[in-house]
Amino acid sequence: MEILRIIYKSIGVVFFTLFYFLILLTGSICLSLIGRKTERWRNRILSIWGKTVAYIFSIKINIEGEPPAPPFILVSNHLSYLDIVVYYAIVDATIVSKAEVSRWPVFGFIAKNIGVIFIDREKRMDVKRVNKEIAENVNPRSGVLIFPEGRISPGDKILPFKPSLLEFAVAENIKVYSSTLCYDTLSDDPGLISKLIWYGDEPMLSHFLRFCTLKRSFANVTFSEDGIIHDDRKELAKLLYERVSDNYKPVYLPEYQKKVSSES
């Protein structure tokens, strides 16, 4: 049964990803030819894609609060590659992602062509370019989603927020909204949550195949009631971190806890 579940989910995700990408690309080309902006079309198709993939994966998305409307800057904690599925389904945003994603087979090519902003965190000078792209993508048709932890967290806590990508918000006095993402399996088995959260050295494909064996999971997203304006990006990052942390429900990965125990 697990093998059938893996096959069904894998084929379904690949098929609908390619299908909606072709629709998005075709529509964007047509709109560009007549001089129209493409962000609303892109966001609409990506929302349908996110909801479709969440359905295939049997992820039920629960929302508390109201997602911000464009233009906006939104920050969130980061737990898995699945986060992009959840957020594309519920917010109209351009996502800032690590540069490695651009090198993923097939999906990297698609990400490049749907407006994902890539950042190379190994290069300090890349922050300036990314802040400029963030400024260009915050408009009445779309917002920007940032994962300020800079990497996926192990789940037991939220990692400190890096302030570097909040420069545009501070310079322009723009409200920054926050949301907290938590996953759940509604099971007492702590091993199941590790099929959702991708952390550590496990290859993505290996984790993806394990994830596909899950019968059902839940993504709970809590949006802040209002945004924060601040003239200091470090203080802004700290305030946003506190907001996201206040709504976070920690999860404990068995393999991560073993690693911590062995190192202590």
Q: Over the stretch 74-89, which tens digit does the pLDDT of each residue have?
A: 999 999 999 999 999 9
262, pLDDT greater than 50: no
Residue 264 lies in a domain: no
Q: How confident is the model at residue 255 (pLDDT cuts 50, 70, 90)?
A: low
64 and 222 Cβ atoms separated by less than 8 Å: yes
Residue 41: per-residue pLDDT: 97
142, pLDDT greater than 60: yes
Residue 154 lies in a domain: yes
228 by Cβ neighbours in 10 Å (0-12 / 13-18 / 19+) ranks as middle
**What average pLDDT does the segment 143-151 reach?**
95
264, pLDDT greater than 50: no
pLDDT tens digits along 119-130: 998 888 899 999
Residue 111 lies in a domain: yes
195, pLDDT greater than 90: no
Please give the mean pLDDT across all residues of the chain. 91
Residue 254: per-residue pLDDT: 64
**Total number of domains constituting the chain:** 1
What is the domain-level CATH number for residue 101?
3.40.1130
Q: How confident is the model at residue 26 (pLDDT cuts 50, 70, 90)?
A: very high
Residue 242 lies in a domain: yes
Measured N-to-C along each axis, helices 39-56 and 2-33 cross at an angle, to the nearest 10 degrees, of 170
Residue 262 lies in a domain: no
Residue 201: per-residue pLDDT: 78
Residue 256 lies in a domain: no
**What average pLDDT does the segment 207-220 reach?**
93
Among the listed residues 132, 162, 123, the one whose alpha carbon sits nearest the alpha carbon of residue 240: 162
263, pLDDT greater than 60: no
What is the CB neighbour count within 10 angstroms for residue 128? 10
Residue 190: per-residue pLDDT: 66
Residue 31 lies in a domain: yes
Residue 106: per-residue pLDDT: 85
Residues 165 and 148: their CA atoms lie apart, in Å, by 7
pLDDT tens digits along 77-120: 999 999 999 999 999 999 999 988 888 888 889 999 999 999 99
215, pLDDT greater than 60: yes
Residue 258 lies in a domain: no
Q: What domain range includes position 36?
A: 2-250
